[in-house]
Amino acid sequence: MKTTQTFCVRFIAIRKKGNAEKAFIVARITISKKVMDISLKKTISIALWDSKRECIICRTPEAKQINKFIDDTRYRLMECYQQLLLEHKVVSPHAIKELYLGETKVENTLLGLIKYHNTNMKQVLAWGTLKNYITTEKYVRLFLKQKYKNADIFLSSLNYQFITEFEFFLRTCKPLDASNPLTNNGVMKHMERLRKMVTLAYKMEWVPKDPFAQYKLKFKRKEMFFLTAEELEKFEHIELSKKIVSRARDLFVFCCYTGLSYIDLDKLRSNNICIGIDGEYWINTKRQKTDIPVNMPLLPKAYFIIQKYKDEPRVFYRGRLLPFMSNQRLNKYIKEIAQLCGIKKELSFHTARHTFATTVTLTNGVPVETVSKMLGHTKLSTTQVYVHIVKQRISDDMKMLRQKLEGSNHPATKIISR
């Protein structure tokens, strides 16, 4: 275990209460300002103690024996320190004392907890989610190194102060990925993942109390961008010179008419298309994120895009419905297309899902309960966010209409004024 902490062992004589002439010898371990005393259970005359040399200044057989015991103890404590380093364990005065006295017990650490979680959840979590936990672990390691000058910390040392200091660290530290700086919600996602792991430790009784009990996550609602009907039409019909950009556009438009997320689009196969109760083609799949079944009619424009690629070798022989492209490249091409269309909104591939929920369905009178089912939401309240967006758009449109009517001699204005 690499460490930048300071380590010191000193021997001091502490006067006995009620007897100013006698003292007992104590080994004082100091690591980065943390102190722990170990009594050597040796009583001496205070007048014979040399505090600078840390030994007894007489040559009696008993004094020589005590001085040798002090030297042996110093050497043994140094050995304990080195042993903890070599075994990659938490190095603290308390840990050295336990190892020296032979009282070492297994105590769980924060990084041990993270390793336990990531190992056991490897088969449960999607790779993208597990990768986020690994990133959180990297920030925890960096925090421990900079703040505590150590490579790990006992779970029993976690408290509310540790939690708030880690949040502050995330808000002020240099991001691991310079192209992806930590926003408020990014910080909160790391705090959320750490809380889930610490809560797991609490449930397994690895910690006596939950240090997150009084902590509240503070997410900020992000502006949810979507394409209007006019913008979607521009997106669909703009001329594109590069074939790969045209493919990215097709994948985006397909999700605008199906509401699928990137990961759900990626796992879509030919057996996910079936004949529904109305005799039309339907998509029958499950959301990767929630494992919720998703069943929806396949709208004509989405069906047309499937037909466009059905005979393409790379699609056909891999059993896919549509060509594959990384999310990063899709986001890049979508931004390029938006610029060509004169759309100044901050678009990503996930904008297609928002567009399906708002412009394609809710704006056209599809009930929010139906939209919720097609999106695979576990809670209706998640879908109702889109309803508020649509209402805002209706309000803005009606405000424009009101201004037009007020500036004309339209009969409606006369009726209102009566």
Q: Determine the pLDDT at residue 417.
A: 45
Q: Determine the pLDDT at residue 248.
A: 94
Q: For the whole prediction, is pTM greater than 0.75?
A: no
* CA nearest to 195, candidates 260, 114, 298: 114
* 90: pLDDT strictly greater than 70: yes
Alpha helices in 15-173 (DSSP H): 61-86, 93-101, 110-120, 127-147, 160-172
* 27: pLDDT strictly greater than 50: yes
Average pLDDT of the chain to the nearest whole number: 87
Asked if residues 223 and 354 have their Cβ atoms less than 8 Å apart, the reply is: no
Average of per-residue pLDDT across 272-278? 90
Residues 6+ apart with CB under 8 A from 35: 28, 29, 93
Q: Determine the pLDDT at residue 223.
A: 74
* 31: pLDDT strictly greater than 80: yes
* 411: pLDDT strictly greater than 70: no
Least confident of 91-95, 104-108, 147-151, 239-243: 104-108
* 418: pLDDT strictly greater than 70: no
Q: Determine the pLDDT at residue 101.
A: 86
Average of per-residue pLDDT across 104-115? 82
* 266: pLDDT strictly greater than 90: no
* 413: pLDDT strictly greater than 70: no
pLDDT in tens, 149-158: 888 888 888 9
Q: Determine the pLDDT at residue 410.
A: 55
Average of per-residue pLDDT across 112-133? 89
Span 229-401: which CATH code?
A: 1.10.443.10
* CA nearest to 77, candidates 9, 173, 147: 9
pLDDT in tens, 181-232: 899 999 999 999 999 999 999 998 888 789 999 999 998 877 788 999 999 9
Average of per-residue pLDDT across 257-282? 90
Q: Determine the pLDDT at residue 409.
A: 60
Domain boundaries, the chain: 7-101, 110-203, 229-401
* 2: pLDDT strictly greater than 70: no
Least confident of 49-53, 131-135, 365-369, 377-381: 377-381
Q: State what percent of residues in the chain have pLDDT above 90.
A: 49
* CA nearest to 351, candidates 306, 308, 389: 389
SS3 string, 251-298, reads HHHHHHCCCCCHHHHHCCEHHHEEECCCCCEEEEEECCCCCCEEEEEC
Q: Tokens 């001496």 belong to which residue?
A: 44
Token pair for 213: 């009990």
* 17: pLDDT strictly greater than 90: no
Instruction: Kindly state the DSSP code that residue 389 receives in the 8-state scheme.
Output: H
Asked if residues 283 and 305 have their Cβ atoms less than 8 Å apart, the reply is: no
* 416: pLDDT strictly greater than 50: no
Least confident of 176-180, 238-242, 319-323, 372-376: 176-180
